[in-house]
Structure 1
Amino acid sequence: MSKRKRINWIDWLSDLAARTLIAAIRLIPWRWRVPMMGALMARVIGPLAGYRRRAEENLAYIHPEMGGAERRRIATAVLDNIGRTIIENYSPRDQIARFADLEPTGPGWPIVARALEQNRPMLFVTGHFGNWQIGRVALNAKGFEIGGLYRPFNNPYANAHYVWSVEAVGGKAYSRDRRGLAAFLKTLRGGGQAAMMLDQFVSDGAFLSFMGKPALTSLSAAEMALRHDALLVPIYCPRGPGGMSFTVEIEAPIPQGTPEEMTQALNDSLDAQIRKRPEQWFWIHRRWKPERLERKRRKRLAAEKAASHD
């Protein structure tokens, strides 16, 4: 059996196990299903997978003054939120039934409602915070058609399952490849709406600040907004007390400027949300990668120095 086939079988079995677990939990009523998946992630899956340790390491990097007990508390709450988010997003019919009637709040809401009537393109930007999909549920129920740009999974079977969960609440899922980006841009050119997240490490990104530390950040959202005269709108869906409710908060669109200025404004916007509710951001991501960042910075400086001598 070839290596490629072995990998495919591993991918298929891994996805089958995940789908089976999700399908079994979906048989449980919503009011128990959501906290149960949160507890399973916080107490079993997350610690075994090393996610709690990674979250605590990231917290220590950003908040060196924070005590170990507080880091552990926040990391456990982060895993609980992740588990809840996973089962919510893989239960799209229940999600729509419960959250389609949510009324958005914030200074950006009347602006984007008016932009929809004017057929102006809009690019909504968020992060892995609260449950980002709730905003699409609520807005799509009000006449929007917000799809999402996503990074394809290495496992193609899991990827297909994820795409289904995104498109089940309205809009298309656009993969970060040439074909997906072309469709994404076509949507913006046609006056449509789309969404993307901007809180992961991007090796070819710009050196910007996030949570007080340098972080390579993609400029693509700002560049696309400028190219297509689209509103660039921060949106967040924080989880409410008790963990079963949400609000949809739409901030004022980012003013036009350079891509770096606009992207830094997006970083600052998410930074403020995380500082208010640190338990709701996915601290498990390798967002900063300081060692790799330093190597890249030195390489760039060396290239600039060499160019200046030519």
Structure 2
Amino acid sequence: MSKDDDNSEPVALRDRIANGAFLIVMGAVGLLPYERRVPLMGWLFAHVIGPLAGWRKRIRDNLAKARPDLTPAEVRHLTRAVPDNAGRSLAEIYSGQEFVGRIHEADPLTGPGVPALEQAAQAGRPVILAVAHFGNYDAMRAALTLRGWPVGALYRPMNNQAFNRHYIPAMRAIAEPMFPRGRSGLAAMLRFLKGGGWLSLGFDQFDDHGAELRFFGLPCKTVLTPAELAIRYDALILPIAGIRQPDGLSFRVEVGEPLAHSTPEAMMQALNDRLEQQIRQHMDQWFWVHRRWKQR
């Protein structure tokens, strides 16, 4: 474990209690077969954890901003379906090789951007994979490693250090390399990208230093880093998403068309537009809990 992942500072009692409760739940759920484990975690998040965490109110508030056309019944459904997807995704991350094995067996990679990825792999060209908190983004990491295309990921360690000690190894078990936010992690990430590496970067959360773009017709601060890095390193940049299928367990990993290099603002607006279109088709798979339209 690197110094970036480990923190020798004492863990607060509240964090230890929360982490202990989580490990008890995961330990109990982990005793079940995969086909029952994943739906059960979804149910727990939809009916227990989500309400306790205040997720239902935040989902309703965001939907009132972005989709005021929805009926009350549709909103009620999403206040349960969105946490369900989050719980399933967490169970899949902690299922390690069971999850990866299912992705590899199905080989779900598809979409108009796949030929561009194949060409980039042959040419040794860097790739920026624009990802959102949609479906399960680890499905795409598993699908790409099946083709021999290791994809790096930038992550922010959780505030709860006790949780980090098992969460980060669980993510690393799906695919590596992973780079923690911070000076050393950023330097390693840039070396990896410059050397022809593939890097997944999120773009769907509020960024206080980002550009004010549009999302669902509303102003929102959007990070420009994915586009800026693509321009700086002449990297292919395209959206990719692991879309959960109706059975709740399998995925289609959709690779979108590459973006033409222009200005960072125009490129990121194009990604916002594509994500919005995808969310409208699968409203329950985006993490509506984010404060995406936060105002300072």
TM-score normalised by structure 1 residue count:
0.89
Instruction: Select which of 81, 84, 94 maps to 2:85.
Output: 81
8 Å CA contact 1:152–1:159 kept in 2: the answer is yes
Query: Which structure shows the higher helix fraction?
Result: 1
1:53 equivalent to 2:46? Answer no
Report what 2:37 is aligned to: 33
* Within-5 A mapping of 1:156-171: 156-171=161-176
1:242 equivalent to 2:277? Answer no
* Within-5 A mapping of 1:154-193: 154-193=159-198
1:93 equivalent to 2:97? Answer yes
Bigger drift between 150-159 and 222-231 goes to: 150-159
Measured in 2, the distance between the counterparts of 1:19 and 1:84 equals: 16
Report what 2:275 is aligned to: 270
Instruction: Select which of 42, 46, 49 maps to 1:42.
Output: 46
Report what 2:69 is aligned to: 65
Shift of residue 157, structure 1, vs aligned partner: 2.2
Deviations 1:228-282 (A, max 9, x none): 1111120011111121111010011111011111111111111111011111100
Instruction: Select which of 246, 257, 265 maps to 1:260.
Output: 265
Measured in 1, the distance between the counterparts of 2:114 and 2:290 equals: 29
Deviations 1:165-219 (A, max 9, x none): 2211121221221111111111100101111211111111110011111110110
Measured in 1, the distance between the counterparts of 2:151 and 2:23 equals: 26
Report what 2:6 is aligned to: none
Shift of residue 160, structure 1, vs aligned partner: 3.0
For the aligned residues, what is the CA RMSD?
1.3
5+ long unaligned stretches in structure 1: 293-310
Measured in 2, the distance between the counterparts of 1:266 and 1:91 equals: 30
Q: For residue 284 of structure 1, what is the amino acid of its counterpart?
A: V
5+ long unaligned stretches in structure 2: 1-8
Segments ≥4 residues shifted beyond 4 Å: none
* Within-5 A mapping of 1:100-111: 100-101=104-105, 102-111=107-116
Q: For residue 161 of structure 2, what is the amino acid of its counterpart?
A: P
Measured in 1, the distance between the counterparts of 2:185 and 2:109 equals: 28
8 Å CA contact 2:93–2:174 kept in 1: the answer is no
Shift of residue 152, structure 1, vs aligned partner: 2.0
Report what 2:227 is aligned to: 222
Q: For residue 168 of structure 1, what is the amino acid of its counterpart?
A: A
Paired positions, count: 287
Residue 43 and residue 260 in structure 1: after superposition, are their counterparts in 2 closer, same or farther (change >3 A)?
same
1:285 equivalent to 2:270? Answer no
Report what 2:199 is aligned to: 194
Residue 123 and residue 36 in structure 1: after superposition, are their counterparts in 2 closer, same or farther (change >3 A)?
same
| 2:251 partner SS | coil
Instruction: Select which of 130, 134, 141 maps to 2:135.
Output: 130
8 Å CA contact 1:200–1:286 kept in 2: the answer is yes
Q: For residue 45 of structure 1, what is the amino acid of its counterpart?
A: I
Report what 1:9 is aligned to: 13
Q: For residue 221 of structure 1, what is the amino acid of its counterpart?
A: P
Measured in 2, the distance between the counterparts of 1:157 and 1:267 equals: 34
* Within-5 A mapping of 1:112-123: 112-123=117-128
Measured in 2, the distance between the counterparts of 1:160 and 1:174 equals: 15
Q: For residue 236 of structure 1, what is the amino acid of its counterpart?
A: A
Instruction: Select which of 190, 212, 220 maps to 1:207.
Output: 212
Measured in 2, the distance between the counterparts of 1:136 and 1:212 equals: 30
Measured in 1, the distance between the counterparts of 2:203 and 2:165 equals: 22
Structure number with bigger Rg? 1
Measured in 2, the distance between the counterparts of 1:180 and 1:95 equals: 27
